[in-house]
Amino acid sequence: MGWNSWDAYGLTITEGDFKANVQVLAGMRHLGWHYAVIDEGWYMRNPFGNSLAERNYLYDANGLLLPAVERFPSSANNAGFKPLADWVHGLGLKFGIHIVRGIPKQVVHDNLPIAGSAFHAEEAADTTETCPWDDSNFGVKDNAAGQAYYDSMLQRYADWGIDYIKVDCISDHPYRPTEIRQIAEAIRKTGRPIVLSLSPGPTNISLAGEIAKYAQMTRITDDHWDTWRNPHKGTSSEFNFGLVDEFERIAEWNRYARPGFWPDADMLPEGALTPHPGWGEPRQSHYTQDEQRTEITLWAISRSPLIFGGNLTKLDDFSRTLLTSREVLAINQKATESGPAILPANDGAPQPARAWYARVGNKTYAAVFNVDDKPHRFDIPWLSFHLTNKSYAAYDVWAGKYILKADALHVELAPHACALFRVK
């Protein structure tokens, strides 16, 4: 659980912006919100340059990226992110960063030495392997020089006090298994417990078992934004993966979710996506309140990582209510079992409902979602939620009220809305 800068700030995050958001996050730390993550571009002096040269990456004599001091003044005098990490830790939180896997192209052109080794950048770089959507880096070879480069990088991050690293262009388009293994090995060598999060998606589900050996999170969709349906549906693109499509994808990956490895349905693009979101114009999230509640509920009951993307300094009252629901967050953090409910057939018509169950201790939770564009009444047998065949009463968590004992769960939902029940 935490906050990531991308959905609100894109490439533009500064130290001042980051600290302002983290101070809000610290006020929710007691609810489990712990990770504060700076996403892509912290090493760019000019994030909106039209070329690699104009973006002007900052790195040291060993080819390791440094925070752009103009944007992160505490990094001056080669301090890197250590002062900022120390500040985050002082608030009782954990600090994370984003990188694109590989080695900067200019570092290879200059053939800089790799710290802590006799190797140079040319020996580590795979110049035939570049990221198709980011022109900054070459790939890293699966050899001793390549391992040495990642060893030096992760040791630098461990020295700074990094707790979480999101590595991009590695889990899909393209999948780079050798670099995943190298990064995981480099983390192990540091001795510091750093969460490894892989991006982008969709990670191929056939690789789940392999990836789970090395990473704690992997993206199961391409970038997910504040849309109900993917506008590219029916094409080869999953970018802007729609909320309605997350139900099937999360269900497919459910069997792999376990302590130590959590399939990642992506960040929560909710609240104020401003001043410079990573996609689209600055805006209040396009979600309706029903859709926003549906997203939080699905992520929570399916045990997906909860990484909020909106601007916390502009957090509206409704979003704050969702982010501070102790019971909903406890399902996400404490459930020992969860999965999609088995719904009865809908007389041959498309099923407008989706449902999930979760167990927290001796309590069972039941969530029902209306994925249709019109309202519906649902009558769902308790058996669907892996309960015995008898009557139950329940507590409506979002509405804050009890419902009478019945032989099935009866619920009326607006389009794209949900309800969450603690079964008595």
Centroid of chain to Cα 192: 21
Q: Supply the pLDDT for residue 395.
A: 98
Per-10-residue mean pLDDT of the chain, 424 residues long, equals 98 98 98 98 96 96 98 97 99 98 98 98 97 96 98 98 98 97 98 98 98 98 96 79 97 98 98 98 98 98 98 98 98 98 87 97 97 97 96 98 97 98 95
Which amino acid is residue 365, in one-letter code? Y
Q: How much is the pLDDT for 231?
A: 78
Domain boundaries, given as residue ranges, for the chain: 2-334, 339-423
CB 298 within 8 A of CB 250: yes
Closest CA to 423 of 362, 376, 370: 362
CATH number attached to the domain at 339-423: 2.60.40.1180
Q: What are the tokens at 224? A: 């997910």
Q: Which among 140, 133, 162 is positioned nearest to 239, based on CA atoms?
A: 133
Relative orientation angle of helices 15-26 and 82-90, to the nearest 10 degrees = 20
- Superfamily grouping for domain 2-334: Aldolase class I (3.20.20.70)
Structure tokens at 367: 């969530």
Q: In sequence order, which residues have a C-beta less than 8 Å from that of residue 29 and are 6 or more positions away?
A: 91, 92, 93
SS3 track for 218-242: EECCCCCCCCCCCCCCCCCCCCCCC
CA angle 191/195/201 to nearest 5° reads 140
Instruction: Please report the pLDDT score of residue 16 as a whole number.
Output: 98
From residue 177, give the alpha-carbon distance in Å to each of 186, 269, 296, 387: 14, 29, 31, 41
